[in-house]
Amino acid sequence: MKKLAIFVDVQNIYYTCKEAYGRQFNYRKLWQHLGYEGEIVTANAYAIHRGDDGQLKFQDALKHIGFDVKLKPFIQRSDGSAKGDWDVGITIDIMESASQVDSIILLSGDGDFAILLEHIANKHNIETQVYGVPKLTAKSLIDAAQQFNQIDASLLL
């Protein structure tokens, strides 16, 4: 059975699904779908911790499904802008998992991950998949993945 590792850029998926469809992503449906493809050996969801009740319920739901939820504090800068980026953490975890699985599955539309997917596919000879909202996923990321899976109505709540 194929070993799968899933990495979710939660903020990216939340905002792209909201912008494109006005709906939320269905993590349970994704889990069920991927369970038919192989054994999920790693499943990380990377989020920003704001501490509000709705967010805590969402994080508990992800844990109940089977995700390891990794949190970073929400940082509000003095100029009003916010920071909460998991790109480096996601990259490190993907690189550490690549030698132990048959497929890396990334949920994000962020083109910064394109070079990472190309690198691990070449170095470890493993499959790379991306799930993203088509019109809000960087072309470079779509091109870098061996398989691009469109987030559409079938994967939304």
Check which CATH number belongs to the domain holding 136 and give it: 3.40.50.1010
SS3 assignment for the chain = CCEEEEEEEHHHHHHHHHHHHCCCECHHHHHHHHHHHCEEEEEEEEEEECCCHHHHHHHHHHHHHCCEEEEEECEECCCCCEECCCHHHHHHHHHHHHHHCCEEEEECCCHHHHHHHHHHHHHHCCEEEEEECHHHCCHHHHHHCCEEEECCHHHEC
Q: What percent of the chain has pLDDT over 90?
A: 85
The whole-number pLDDT of residue 52 equals 80
Number of domains composing the chain: 1
Residues 34-71 have pLDDT tens digits of: 999 999 999 999 998 877 888 889 999 999 999 999 99
Tell me what pLDDT residue 35 has: 95
Q: Domain range for residue 99?
A: 13-43+85-155
Work out the percent of the chain whose per-residue pLDDT is above 70: 93
Q: Is residue 146 part of a domain?
A: yes
What's the mean pLDDT in 71-81? 69
